[in-house]
Structure 1
Amino acid sequence: MVAYLGTGLLGANFTRAMLKRGVEVQVWNRTSEKAFALEQYGAKAFEDVTKAVENASVIHLTLKDDASVDEVLEKASAAFKKGVIIIDHTTTSASGAVKRTAYWKEKGFVYQHAPVFMGPQNALDATGYMLVSGDRKLIANLQPDLSAMTGKLLNFGETVGKAASMKLIGNLFLITFTAGLSDVLSLAEAQDISTEDILSLLNEWNPAASSIPDRLKKMSGTDFSNPSWELNMARKDTQLFMNAVNEAGQSFTVIPAIAKRMDTLIAEGHGNEDWMVIGKKQ
């Protein structure tokens, strides 16, 4: 018997996928209608979270944050089966994952954090990525069931909480990347360039796919003395971006902050160094 707590878009489709694989699933959600909507697929829904976890040997969660995970698990624990395994797919802090792992172990239960890079359709189709770290033997035992939920299970070793950190890093990349694309669209609109034209450029010249590993390696170092693009020149182009957008009455999301960072580094004497010095730790 499996319990699933938190049946929003992701949790609901994880549940549906489990049901299709023949797993018996009991579900709970703070908004109970979302849980009861899964009964049409074969789930058994409960308004009381303690009833939802009764007789469950494994409990999956997809909730909002550290506080909601702690609150729901504490309430549900009154009905935990002895030796139950808690698998938490919520995006949380690394410190929270570490704390919960130790806390539930002390109480005689198992907590494993397993955040995901998956949307609702991925959860339904068992595609995408699931991240784990921590006890090697536990993860090996869980691997068949977790692998059935995702396209790829990424194991980051025995450091508890590392999977949470990797999830946050990945989400940060997605947010900054998307904000950067927002600025690309602003500049394109200011210069009457269509999205189709941008796509035609990126289909031929794909800097993200081809250069991210090299850029990351360069930025994590300390030697920026052999520039491929000087910071002074990058700052000049950044001003051209801002001028074009300002003249068109548009605005940027991230470029002004980057320009400010460039100005600080140039004032510190880094103008002739490689522009990737902007990634230097402050």
Structure 2
Amino acid sequence: MIAFLGMGLLGSNFVRALINKGNSVQVWNRTTSKATALEAYGAKAFADVTAAVKGASRVHITLKDDHTVDEVLAAAAPGLQPGAVIIDHTTTSADGAVQRTKDWKARGFTYLHAPVFMGPQNALESTGYMLVSGDQEVIATYTPVLAEMTGQVINFGDTAGKAAGMKLIGNSFLVSLTAGLADTLSLAKALNIPISDVTGLFGEWNPGNGLAARIKRMASGSYDSPSWELNMARKDTQLFIDAAAKADVPLAILPAIAKEMDQWIAKGHGQDDWTVIGKNSI
């Protein structure tokens, strides 16, 4: 028997996929109607979280944050059967994941943090990426069942909380990328260039292909053989800002990047490779 707590878009589709694979799943959600909606697919819904976990050898969680996870697990604890494993897919802090691993082990339970890079459709189709780290015996035991839920399980070694950290790193990139794309589309609007043309450009020229090389360049600590001088990158950044200002189109992050560039130029790095602005991150 499997229990699943948290019937948001991700959790509900995880449940549907598990049922499609022949599993019996007990579900709970703070808004009970979201749990009972899964009964149409064969789940057994509970209004009480303690009852929802009774008899379950595995308890999966997809909740909001550290506080919610701790609160829900505290409420569920009286119903947990001895030896139950708690598998938490919530995006949380690394410290929170470490503390929960320690605390639940002391109480006689296994807690495994397994955050994901998956959308709702991935959860339904069992595709995407699931991240784990910590006790390698535990991970070896549960990787087969986790692999059935996702396309790939990535093991980051025996450091508890590292999977949580890697999830945050990945999400920070997605947030930064989306904010950057928002400014890119704002610039296109200012220049009266259709989004379809922007899509076409990136379809032909995919800057994402250079991501690994860019990280390697930034991590090298060597910026004195530039492929794009910081002075020139700053000049172009001002062209972006001026074009947007002329069209009265707001920009979210490019002005902040310009300010950072100015600080590095003032330190004497204008002729270095523009990736020097990430030097303090290394």
Aligning the two structures, in what range does the TM-score lie when normalised by the shorter sequence?
A: over 0.9
Q: For 1:206-265, what per-residue CA distance to the aligned partner results, in whole angstroms no more than 9, with x for missing partners?
A: 1112x1111101112221111111101110110010000000000111101100000001
**Which residue is 2:253 aligned to?**
254
Alpha-carbon distance between aligned partners in 1 of 2:246 and 2:33, rounded to the nearest angstrom: 50
Q: For 1:106-145, what per-residue CA distance to the aligned partner results, in whole angstroms no more than 9, with x for missing partners?
A: 0000000000011111101101111111111111110111
**Which residue is 2:113 aligned to?**
113
The one-letter code sitting in structure 1 at the alignment partner of 2:213 is D
Moved more, 69-78 or 193-202: 193-202
**Which residue is 2:156 aligned to?**
156
TM-superposed CA distance for 1:195, in Å, is 1.1
**Which residue is 2:73 aligned to?**
73
Alpha-carbon distance between aligned partners in 2 of 1:200 and 1:43, rounded to the nearest angstrom: 44
TM-score under structure 2 length normalisation: 0.98
Alpha-carbon distance between aligned partners in 1 of 2:239 and 2:143, rounded to the nearest angstrom: 52
TM-score under structure 1 length normalisation: 0.98
Q: How does 1:96-107 map to 2 (within 5 A)?
A: 96-107=96-107
Percent identity between matched residues is 60
Alpha-carbon distance between aligned partners in 1 of 2:147 and 2:221, rounded to the nearest angstrom: 39
Match status 1:52 vs 2:47? no
TM-superposed CA distance for 1:5, in Å, is 0.4
Aligned residues: 281
The one-letter code sitting in structure 2 at the alignment partner of 1:239 is Q
Alpha-carbon distance between aligned partners in 1 of 2:205 and 2:16, rounded to the nearest angstrom: 40
Moved more, 63-72 or 214-223: 214-223
Match status 1:172 vs 2:197? no
Alpha-carbon distance between aligned partners in 2 of 1:272 and 1:53, rounded to the nearest angstrom: 61
Alpha-carbon distance between aligned partners in 1 of 2:217 and 2:46, rounded to the nearest angstrom: 53
**Which residue is 1:268 aligned to?**
267
**Which residue is 1:39 aligned to?**
39
The one-letter code sitting in structure 2 at the alignment partner of 1:133 is S
The one-letter code sitting in structure 2 at the alignment partner of 1:92 is T
Unaligned residue ranges in structure 2 (runs of 5+): none
Q: For 1:34-79, what per-residue CA distance to the aligned partner results, in whole angstroms no more than 9, with x for missing partners?
A: 0011111111111110000011110000000000000000110011
| Partner SS, residue 92 of structure 1 | coil
**Which residue is 1:21 aligned to?**
21
**Which residue is 2:213 aligned to?**
214
TM-superposed CA distance for 1:100, in Å, is 0.2
| Partner SS, residue 86 of structure 1 | strand
**Which residue is 2:141 aligned to?**
141
**Which residue is 2:91 aligned to?**
91
| Partner SS, residue 280 of structure 2 | coil
The one-letter code sitting in structure 2 at the alignment partner of 1:82 is P
Alpha-carbon distance between aligned partners in 2 of 1:225 and 1:145, rounded to the nearest angstrom: 49
Alpha-carbon distance between aligned partners in 2 of 1:135 and 1:27, rounded to the nearest angstrom: 27
Q: For 1:133-167, what per-residue CA distance to the aligned partner results, in whole angstroms no more than 9, with x for missing partners?
A: 11111111101110000011111111111100010
